[in-house]
Structure 1
Amino acid sequence: MKFSVSGRTAATGVAAAAVSTVMLLTSGSLAGAAPAPAQAAAPDIPVANVKAHLAQLQSIATANGGNRAHGKAGYKASLDYVKGKLDAAGFTTTVQTFTSSGSTGYNLIADWPGGDTDHVVMSGSHLDSVSAGPGINDNGSGSAAVLETALAVSRAGYQPSKHLRFAWWGAEELGMVGSRNYVNSLSTADRSKISDYLNFDMIASPNPGYFVYDDDPTIEKTFKDYFAGLNITTEPDTEGDGRSDHAPFENAGIPVGGLFSGADYIKTAAQKDAWGGTSGKAFDACYHRSCDTSANIDDTALDHNSDAVAHAVWELSS
């Protein structure tokens, strides 16, 4: 840097310039010196948007024999609905096929461009229902929350340091067939790239509890801290342990976590005191029944859990 002044003025100018240069470097105002911006917190997930997805899944079931089960038209229509939303939002989507019980099954995988693909944060839910009903809590609720979180990633233009991947599994109700097929299709190297797998299976039970998977300490703490901030107590998920799509990931050595609002187990008096609702009654009396419709949803649980999904995705991927 060259100055055209002389004497004391020059010395003062040099000193001032030096100070200014240090301040510019420190504040990141010089070209090439700007620090990476801090990632914003996860956005609020509008529960109305999540419920709109559930209404679509209900309509699909109603138009296709009352269910969205593996091998039925309602399942494929559900997958096409989710895929259409993700494609329009800029995700790279892949449909993986498999065969189970004599029928073709489908997994939907959606990758958000960017992030370190050697460190993948993956969130998933099963999209199929049982044949007895439309499966709006089990598991439209998890599927809709994961979908709306993915769409929130797109709306925010979120660019985390880790790579984001979302999944909707087929044939979970037949024994985690779709998710197991996916994990088995991965090479050892690709399995090692999945830093976290988050599973959401039933998160809006009408007599809800707030259960957090206790499989991985870091993921568990992420969820527990979030609910503590809402003054909501949580319990470890023992009812659903190993009974949903996190199991194939955990068996492959991948850290897993997730949320659950309860199925056909009975809410205790202590749980009623903690969470409200009705003791002596199942968390979801319509579990695997025809009455698991859009009326079988607790909006508050759906809202809290959907926000928790987004919180964990942002927190673990930043």
Structure 2
Amino acid sequence: MTRTARTRRLTLATGACAAVVGLLGVAASAQATAPTAAPDIPVADIKADLAKFQSIADANNGTRAHGTAGYQASIDYVKGKLDAAGFTTQVQEFNSGGAKGYNLIADWPGGDESKTVMSGAHLDSVPAGPGINDNGSGSAGILEVALAVAKADLKPTKHLRFGWWGDEEDGMIGSSHYVDSLGADTAKLDSYLNFDMIGSPNPGYFVYDDDARLEKVFKDWFASKDIATEKETEGDGRSDHAPFKDAGVPVGGLFSGADYIKTDAQAKAWGGEAGKAFDACYHESCDTSKNIDDTALDNHTDAIAQAVWELSS
């Protein structure tokens, strides 16, 4: 081999190595920026929480409404599971309608508290019924996501916080009290994610469009599962994201539908029955543990988990 040939071969080899290194670097970069995958949340675990909420209502005149023993028992149940999992919990008191109300706040240790990702759901039912879809479903969904955080011993870059709100049914009383109590600390909230009804029996898949970044996280997850989504409009301003939004916090969330009627196009996209309400038992005594679509409950909760993992990384 001549020196010129050897030099040319060395040059080619060096270039090939550089190309390989470059490709590996691109692959590593892509891997580093890919969203962290969340675990699958077993729907059986969410259903077990809903069964507990039903049993609590059954033991307390069929309700878990603000100011009742059923609501207090619901708070105690959720708090007990979070305490056992290693969360730092706080019960925040407020007064509404002549009765004591309670919010439950749970913080996972670690992460930058100046960039807190918060997920929330109201825990109270209406007086007329046990409120298993509205809003045992959202409450159980975020509870199981929180417990998955603990099981994974997640080490998020941003701080993680979860909230269960009291007396939403009288006009977001509990969540408004919490936001007011934060004062200037609302600036520390990177985002607030709200989940009010995620297991409707004739379900839809609605994504809050209040913040483009948060909306994209949810829409991307559903797109990866070939599930069509629509912009959420039915509950705009009618649930616990409203006080956060009014305070300037970026908000997002999911909703499976209440008493609006499912259209033909929606039934074609999602299944179920056109011409009937997403939840015919909305605010009624029949909102029991039978008033749940397991697939919708499972899909929405897995989407919540992905958002929590991705947004806190």
What is the CA deviation profile of residues 265-293 of structure 1, one whole-angstrom value per residue up to 9, with x for unaligned ones?
A: 00000000000000000000000000000
Provide the TM-score with structure 2 as the length reference: 0.89
Corresponding residue for residue 16 of structure 1: none
What is the CA deviation profile of residues 252-309 of structure 1, one whole-angstrom value per residue up to 9, with x for unaligned ones?
A: 0000000000000000000000000000000000000000000000000000000001
2:83 is aligned with 1:67: no
Q: CA deviation at 1:187?
A: 2.2
Query: What is the distance in 2 between the residues matched to 1:258 and 1:137?
Result: 16
SS at match of 2:169: helix
What is the CA deviation profile of residues 73-102 of structure 1, one whole-angstrom value per residue up to 9, with x for unaligned ones?
A: 000000000000000000000000000000
Segment drifting more, 90-99 vs 39-48: 39-48
Consecutive unaligned residues in structure 2, runs of 5 or more: 1-31
Corresponding residue for residue 210 of structure 1: 205
Corresponding residue for residue 91 of structure 2: 95
Corresponding residue for residue 83 of structure 1: 79
CA 1:37–1:151: 2 relative to 1, 3 Å: farther
Query: What is the distance in 2 between the residues matched to 1:181 and 1:140?
Result: 21
Conservation of the 8 A alpha-carbon contact between 1:39 and 1:160:
no
Q: 2:265 aligns with which of 266, 270, 286?
A: 270
Q: Which amino acid aligns with 1:242?
A: G
CA 1:37–1:209: 2 relative to 1, 3 Å: closer
2:223 is aligned with 1:222: no
Corresponding residue for residue 151 of structure 2: 155
Corresponding residue for residue 20 of structure 2: none
Q: Which amino acid aligns with 2:172?
A: M
Conservation of the 8 A alpha-carbon contact between 1:203 and 1:302:
yes
Q: How many residues align?
A: 285
Query: What is the distance in 1 between the residues matched to 2:155 and 2:99?
Result: 38
Q: Which amino acid aligns with 2:163?
A: A
Query: What is the distance in 1 between the residues matched to 2:160 and 2:193?
Result: 11
SS at match of 1:174: coil
What is the CA deviation profile of residues 92-123 of structure 1, one whole-angstrom value per residue up to 9, with x for unaligned ones?
A: 00000000000000000000000001100000
Q: Which amino acid aligns with 1:67?
A: T
Corresponding residue for residue 289 of structure 1: 284
What is the CA deviation profile of residues 213-260 of structure 1, one whole-angstrom value per residue up to 9, with x for unaligned ones?
A: 000000000000000001011000000101000000000000000000
2:299 is aligned with 1:304: yes
> Which stretches of structure 1, 4 residues or more, deviate above 2 A after TM superposition?
36-40
Q: Which amino acid aligns with 1:127?
A: L
Query: What is the distance in 1 between the residues matched to 2:37 and 2:191?
Result: 19
Corresponding residue for residue 162 of structure 2: 166
What is the CA deviation profile of residues 143-182 of structure 1, one whole-angstrom value per residue up to 9, with x for unaligned ones?
A: 0000000000000000110000000000000000000000
Question: For 1:53-202, what aligned pairs fall within 5 Å after superposition?
Answer: 53-188=49-184, 190-202=185-197
SS at match of 1:166: strand
Kindly, what percent of the aligned residue pairs are identical?
Answer: 73
Query: What is the distance in 1 between the residues matched to 2:35 and 2:250?
Result: 24
Q: 1:241 aligns with which of 233, 236, 240?
A: 236
Q: CA deviation at 1:37?
A: 12
Conservation of the 8 A alpha-carbon contact between 1:212 and 1:223:
yes
Q: 2:227 aligns with which of 222, 228, 232?
A: 232
Consecutive unaligned residues in structure 1, runs of 5 or more: 1-35
Corresponding residue for residue 48 of structure 2: 52
2:29 is aligned with 1:43: no
Q: CA deviation at 1:40?
A: 4.5
Conservation of the 8 A alpha-carbon contact between 1:98 and 1:106:
yes
SS at match of 1:186: helix
SS at match of 2:308: helix
Conservation of the 8 A alpha-carbon contact between 2:36 and 2:310:
no
Query: What is the distance in 1 between the residues matched to 2:201 and 2:34?
Result: 38
Corresponding residue for residue 310 of structure 2: 315
